[in-house]
């Protein structure tokens, strides 16, 4: 039986991952060059790349991406910190959980974007109104993940720590917090995805800058290349966040690595 | 520290009616005694240890602590069969956990942990994570952690039950070595009669549910005890007697589950 070397396995996996996107883009480019598809709806990938390159050269791409990132990270930071604290408290203190869980649950089921008109009424058309849905999304996602994580902490570990003399503070620092980390990271990954989506949505609705606004304006002005650039940039951001968080998790939570089968 | 109990009783609710895990269990330990409790698997032994450790409150009776002048503290620490190490701490941090809870500063506790782990053959693997270790190695670390904290009483709940024969023999010898260097009261629960006799000064036989102490045997063999004594006639005689008592308790009471 032939021996498969490591590089051959990597090559094979790479082919699996890449053949489909390459085929799609290849077909698209070919169809565009042969004028088989409308240049208004499906500009050739070469044109999109050209346009994108222009945007990078004159700084427009960076500034739009930067604006979206800025908005998303601030909103997410607000939501994540409060969400984590809330989830932790709910998980450890029963009265807190009984009080807050229904509220969080309702918020979870409410489309955060639907809250926008109400916010615009209270807060006016400003950055705060845009940050709130993002923060809320992050808050609710992480609060529920953290609550779940805390409840999932094996009571055997809590008993063991107590047996060795751990007080409340030590229990929190040395048992609950690290035990929750793997699931909290899952929450972070979920939040990153959802926060990005809601940031773009908020920008679509009305924002002076950002990828969402760029996509909207491109639609309004039939600048189809920019439309695609906006969408691809958003997707790329999503992938970067996901990948980055996975790597961070591998670093910070080495014990959370579950052996995966092929 | 010595322990003395009045008649202990623990009852658990269950769909089929109350389950008497322990009823009328009374025991007393002597100074720095290695006491083994044997009994059929599943009934009462773990509950008894949890009561002594203070994790489980008995519904009847109580355990009295009689401190000795040689006690460093009044800790009663439990080593169980599994889930012994915190997965999010390295081997050395796990071993030093007891000391950490006692407020020993980081440098010192890591140094002490390093010493005991080195003696147990962990040189170079101290920064490993529990999920990278075999069960035998994890149990070693758990035992090391317990000794490092120098409790007044050590409770061990079938700690070597899930290990293969060779590992078990190794760890038994290591346990005896550590205990002889740092004598303290140990209550060791097992279903293995040979292990019980090899390790202890005295063996208590616990019956099936409801758990009661049905017999008691003194183990007269001198220390240090190597694994070789398990083949001697005296040892086998005692093993036969204790097994008999255990066997009786198998047949007499109704099945546990």
What is the reported pLDDT for B209? 77
Tell me, yes or no, whether A143 and A26 share the same domain: no
Do the Cβ atoms of B101 and A160 come within 8 Å? no
Tell me, yes or no, whether A27 and A66 share the same domain: no
What is the reported pLDDT for A258? 54
Domain contains A50: no
Token pair in block for residue B253: 């009471």
Alpha carbon of A47 to those of A51, A62, A208, A229, B141: distances in Å?
6, 19, 26, 11, 63
pTM: 0.80
CB pairs under 8 A between A and B: 52
Tell me, yes or no, whether A23 and A64 share the same domain: no
Q: Domain span at residue A25?
A: 1-37
Measured between beta carbons, the chain A residues lying within 8 angstroms of B89 are: 174, 178
Angstrom distance (rounded) from CA B256 to CA B39: 12
Whether the per-residue pLDDT at A261 is higher than 60: the answer is no
Angstrom distance (rounded) from CA B170 to CA B224: 15
Taking a C-beta distance cutoff of 8 angstroms, is the pair A134, A71 a contact? Answer: yes
Instruction: Please state at what angle helix A177-205 crosses helix A60-92, rounded to 10 degrees.
Output: 140
Residue of A nearest to B146 (CA): A164
For chain A, how many structural domains are there in total? 2
Residue of A nearest to B82 (CA): A156
Domain contains A48: no
Measured between beta carbons, the chain B residues lying within 8 angstroms of A159 are: 55
DSSP string, B49-78: HHHHHTSS--SB--EEEE--TT-S---EEE
Token pair in block for residue B186: 């140990």
What is the reported pLDDT for A229? 93
Closest by CA position to B155, among listed B225, B51, B25: B51
Task: For residue A103, report the phi and psi dihedrals to the nearest 5 degrees.
Answer: -65, -45
What is the reported pLDDT for A114? 83
For the residues A198-206, what does the mean pLDDT come to? 90
Angstrom distance (rounded) from CA A43 to CA A25: 11
Tell me, yes or no, whether A129 and A197 share the same domain: yes
Angstrom distance (rounded) from CA B17 to CA B179: 42
Greatest Cα pair distance, chain A, in angstroms, is 76
| Listed range (A125-134, B164-173, B245-254) with the worst mean pLDDT | B245-254
Tell me, yes or no, whether A106 and A189 share the same domain: yes
Domain contains A162: yes
Domain contains A109: yes
Whether the per-residue pLDDT at A113 is higher than 50: the answer is yes
Tell me, yes or no, whether A245 and A117 share the same domain: yes
Domain contains A31: yes
Taking a C-beta distance cutoff of 8 angstroms, is the pair B34, B203 a contact? Answer: no
pLDDT digits (tens, 9 = 90+) for A139-193: 999 999 999 999 999 999 999 999 999 998 999 899 998 999 999 998 999 999 9
Confidence of residue A260 (pLDDT cuts 50, 70, 90): very low
Whether the per-residue pLDDT at B255 is higher than 80: the answer is no
Cβ-in-10-Å burial (0-12, 13-18, 19+) of A219 comes to: middle
Whether the per-residue pLDDT at B16 is higher than 90: the answer is no
Q: CATH number of the domain that A186 lies in?
A: 1.10.3720.10
Confidence of residue B105 (pLDDT cuts 50, 70, 90): very high
For the residues B10-31, what does the mean pLDDT come to? 87
Tell me, yes or no, whether A227 and A178 share the same domain: yes
What is chain A's mean pLDDT, rounded?
89
Domain contains A90: yes
Taking a C-beta distance cutoff of 8 angstroms, is the pair A227, A215 a contact? Answer: yes
Please give the torsion angle defined by the CA atoms of residues A133, A138, A140 and A146, in that order, rounded to the nearest 10 degrees. -170
Domain contains A45: no
Tell me, yes or no, whether A132 and A167 share the same domain: yes
Tell me, yes or no, whether A65 and A12 share the same domain: no
Do the Cβ atoms of A174 and B86 come within 8 Å? yes
pLDDT digits (tens, 9 = 90+) for A31-76: 888 888 888 888 888 889 999 999 999 999 999 999 999 999 999 9
Whether the per-residue pLDDT at B95 is higher than 50: the answer is yes
What is the reported pLDDT for B144? 93
Tell me, yes or no, whether A153 and A193 share the same domain: yes
Tell me, yes or no, whether A23 and A70 share the same domain: no
pLDDT digits (tens, 9 = 90+) for B206-234: 888 788 888 999 999 998 998 889 999 99
Tell me, yes or no, whether A145 and A23 share the same domain: no
Neighbours of A94 (CB within 10 A): 9
What is the reported pLDDT for A259? 45
Portion of chain A with pLDDT greater than 90, in percent: 57
Do the Cβ atoms of A164 and B77 come within 8 Å? yes
Confidence of residue A100 (pLDDT cuts 50, 70, 90): very high
What is chain B's mean pLDDT, rounded?
89
Domain contains A43: no
């Amino acid at each position: 039986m032939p021996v498969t070397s490591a590089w051959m396995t990597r090559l094979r996996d790479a082919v699996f991952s890449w053949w489909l996107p390459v085929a799609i883009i290849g077909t698209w480019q070919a169809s565009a060059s042969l004028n088989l598809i409308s240049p208004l709806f499906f500009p050739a990938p070469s044109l999109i790349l050209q346009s994108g390159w222009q945007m990078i050269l004159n700084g427009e791409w960076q500034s739009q991406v930067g604006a979206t990132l800025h908005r998303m990270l601030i909103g997410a930071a607000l939501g994540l910190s409060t969400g984590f604290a809330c989830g932790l408290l709910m998980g450890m203190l029963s009265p807190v959980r009984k009080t807050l869980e229904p509220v969080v649950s309702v918020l979870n089921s409410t489309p955060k974007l639907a809250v926008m008109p109400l916010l615009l009424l209270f807060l006016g058309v400003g950055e705060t109104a845009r940050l709130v849905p993002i923060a809320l999304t992050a808050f609710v996602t992480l609060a529920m993940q953290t609550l779940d994580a805390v409840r999932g902490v094996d009571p055997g570990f809590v008993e063991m720590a107590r047996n060795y003399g751990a007080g409340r503070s030590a229990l929190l620092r040395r048992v609950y917090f690290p035990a929750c980390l793997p699931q909290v990271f899952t929450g972070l990954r979920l939040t990153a995805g959802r926060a990005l989506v809601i940031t773009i949505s908020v920008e679509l609705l009305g924002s002076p800058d950002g990828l969402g606004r760029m996509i909207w304006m491109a639609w309004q002005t039939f600048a189809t290349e920019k439309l695609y650039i906006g969408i691809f940039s958003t997707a790329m951001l999503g992938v970067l966040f996901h990948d980055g968080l996975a790597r961070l998790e591998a670093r910070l939570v080495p014990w959370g690595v579950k052996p995966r089968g092929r | 520290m010595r322990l003395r109990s009045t008649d202990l009783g623990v009852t658990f609710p269950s769909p089929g009616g109350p389950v008497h895990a322990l009823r009328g269990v009374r025991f007393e330990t002597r100074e720095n005694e290695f006491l083994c409790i044997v009994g059929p698997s599943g009934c009462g032994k773990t509950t008894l240890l949890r009561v002594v450790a203070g994790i489980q409150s008995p519904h009847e009776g109580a355990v009295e602590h009689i401190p000795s002048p040689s006690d460093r503290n009044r800790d009663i620490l439990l080593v169980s069969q599994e889930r012994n190490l915190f997965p999010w701490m390295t081997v050395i941090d796990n071993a030093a956990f007891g000391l950490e809870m006692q407020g020993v500063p980081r440098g010192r506790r890591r140094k002490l942990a390093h010493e005991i782990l080195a003696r147990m053959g962990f040189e170079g693997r101290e920064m490993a994570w529990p999920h990278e270790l075999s069960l035998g190695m994890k149990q070693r670390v758990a035992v090391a952690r317990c000794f490092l904290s120098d409790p007044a009483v050590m409770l061990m709940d079938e700690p070597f039950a899930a290990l293969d024969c060779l590992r078990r023999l190794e760890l038994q010898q290591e346990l005896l070595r550590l205990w002889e260097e740092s004598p303290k009261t140990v209550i060791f629960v097992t279903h293995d009669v040979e292990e019980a006799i090899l390790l202890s000064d005295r063996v208590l036989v616990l019956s099936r549910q409801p758990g009661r102490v049905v017999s008691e045997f003194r183990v007269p063999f001198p220390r240090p005890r190597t694994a070789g004594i398990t083949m001697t006639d005296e040892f086998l005689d005692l093993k036969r007697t204790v097994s008999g008592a255990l066997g009786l308790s198998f047949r007499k009471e109704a099945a546990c589950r």
